[in-house]
Amino acid sequence: MVDLKINGLHVSMPEGSTLLEAARFLGFPIPTLCHMDGLEPYGACRLCVVEIGREPKARLVTACTYPVQEGLEVRTASSRVLRARVMILELLLASCPQSRTIQDLASAHNVRQQRFRQEHEDCILCGRCVRMCKEQMMAGAIGFRGRGENRSIGTPFDLRSEQCRLCGGCIYVCPACQLRCTYNEPEKAICGGCANLSPPCIEKEPFDDMMCYMSPCVACEIPKE
Amino acid sequence: MRTDEVQGFVDRHVGERGGLISILEDMQARYGYLPADVLRAVAERTGQSLTDVYGVATFYKSFSLKPRGKHLCSVCVGTACHVRRAPMVAREVERRLGIRPGDTTADREFTLETVNCLGACALGPIVVVDGHYFSAVTTGKVKDILEQTRAGLDRVDVKTDRRIFPVTVSCSRCNHSLMDAAHPIDGSPSIRVTVSFKRHHGWLRLSSLYGSYTLECEYEIPMDAVVDFFCPHCHADLKSAAGCPECGAPMVAMIVRAGGIVQVCSRRGCKGHMLDLNGSGF
Ligand code: FES
Ligand code: FES
């Protein structure tokens, strides 16, 4: 067992657990986005930052990936953490404002506006779908491609992967909803969630009433005609 | 078949850490790019998912999934070169070749890419074509560079290039001179040896200028063929124990009169050669 202090409270956690688990154990809320129980921690979104150590050596680390350490002092809501969190939320809002997950997170932290150039990205590269596909579905059909600006998630060569069983797991875990509905491009289809489960929006008039079980399927790209 | 060849490459790096990158590097060197079927084969043979292999192949800039042209032209658009108008140079190259960075001309001659700093900022703007550096390039010079490349950058101008000097060589066994003054190549006596490959057996004359690759042969030797070299006097096999640093084919050793040995690659078209004036590598 490892003893550490979170916001002044002692806690002992089994070796190898993360700060996020420790904080959750004590009931301190830490917002997360790319983290998902059951998936390998990835540390992509940085939303879960916490401050560790003592001034002047205090620093910000991602709680979802940082392992507990003997005698560590962790602050989950210091002003520095809050500032960083707001900034990250603003950046997320700037890139993907249509995501309900991000909107909810932002409003929960009282972020109503962001100061950056507004973009409408489909994907925040959190890698949830990639991990889901690989770790839980044992398929590994989608992955990261390219780097930097050109980084994207998808199948190799943008072709329907033989590994993909159209389980729809990637869509299910997506916080930005970008992978929805590749139904109209079957040759590229990643999940075809709607294709194999035939959600109501296909049978009825498209967008008639948004009764999709994957609600809200605002990014649903089935052409109207 | 290509996929069988892949197995060989994979075996060479099996179990190595970071083996995937080495495998892909070898493939890229072999084919000039990474064809889709090769990537699939690599994934299959290494037991990794195609997704991972594809991810690595697209992550590194040195890998290309598209066929590359014969010549690679890299224009530096790093900060230092940028302020010296590298973007205009880049645009000029684009215009002349009619392609965008990252693309290859339809005739497969040129691949254009932009790079961020080559570490020679003081000489900027820099354009590198097939490993040849051109410094202080202006838009006006672009045409020359491309024309020179088309004509062959390796065709050196023997008169003006000071890196080039003639060597006089002899057989490493009988020490008989191999020089043939009656048939000069590049204006100096040629080196005459006997070569054999497949069923053919005949003479071959090499330029004695170190750094020139001009040669004449009784038979047309197909590119990439590895041929055996013999001394025309004692018929000793001139093959040395060393392998070519470029392609791995056996090297051919000859004694330099001035002392030391010179080795050239026995593969037709390969430019591998070494000069060892102390003779210690013998
Ligand atoms: S939740 Fe920790 S970095 Fe995304
Ligand atoms: S910026 Fe071009 S060489 Fe450094």
Span A65-82, pLDDT tens digits: 999 999 999 999 999 999
Q: For residues B212 and B139, state if they share a domain.
A: no
**Over chain B, what is the mean pLDDT?**
82
> What ipTM does this complex have?
0.74
Interface of A with B in 127-146 (CB under 8 A): 134, 140-146
List residues bridging with B254 in a β-sheet: B262
Tell me if A157 and B36 make a contact (CB, 8 A cut-off): yes
* Angle between helices B2-12 and B19-31 in degrees, nearest 10: 140
List residues bridging with A75 in a β-sheet: A51
B228-233: average pLDDT: 88
Which of B24, B44, B58, B66 is best to mutate for the A interface (most A CBs within 10 A)? Answer: B58
Q: For residues B170 and B266, state if they share a domain.
A: yes
From A18, A48, A85, the mutation candidate for ligand 1 (largest count of ligand atoms within 8 A of CB) is: A48
- From B39, B59, B79, the end of a domain falls on B59
Q: For residues B179 and B271, state if they share a domain.
A: yes
* Site of tokens 């194999």: A196
DSSP one-letter string for B232-249: TTT--B-EEEEE-TTT-P
Number of structural domains (chain A) is 2
Chain A residues with CB inside 8 Å of B59's CB? 144-147
Least CA distance to B37: which residue of chain A?
A157
Q: Which ligand is nearest to the CA of B118?
A: 2
Tell me if A143 and B52 make a contact (CB, 8 A cut-off): yes
Number of structural domains (chain B) is 3
Span A77-119, pLDDT tens digits: 999 999 999 999 999 999 988 787 888 899 999 998 889 999 8
pLDDT at residue number A179 = 46
Q: For residues B175 and B253, state if they share a domain.
A: yes
Domain residue limits at B37: 3-59
What CA–CA distance (Å, rounded) separates B133 from B143? 15
Work out the pLDDT band at A24, boundaries 50, 70, 90. Answer: very high
Classify residue B159: in a domain, yes or no. Answer: no
What CA–CA distance (Å, rounded) separates B16 from B273? 30
Q: E strands, chain B, where?
A: 71-76, 110-115, 127-129, 132-134, 165-166, 169-170, 179-185, 188-197, 200-206, 209-210, 215-217, 228-230, 239-243, 250-256, 261-265, 273-276
Classify residue A45: in a domain, yes or no. Answer: yes
Classify residue A7: in a domain, yes or no. Answer: yes
Q: Classify residue B57 by its DSSP letter.
A: H
**Separation in Å, CA of A152 to nearest CA in chain B:** 10
Q: For residues A113 and A144, state if they share a domain.
A: no
Classify residue A218: in a domain, yes or no. Answer: no
Tokens at residue B173, please? 């066994």
The number of C-beta contacts closer than 8 angstroms across A and B is: 36
Span B165-191, pLDDT tens digits: 778 888 888 888 888 888 888 778 888
B134-157: average pLDDT: 79
* Site of tokens 């071959």: B204
Classify residue B65: in a domain, yes or no. Answer: no
pLDDT for residue A25 is more than 60: yes
Domain residue limits at A24: 2-117+182-211
Tell me if B51 and A161 make a contact (CB, 8 A cut-off): yes
Classify residue B158: in a domain, yes or no. Answer: no
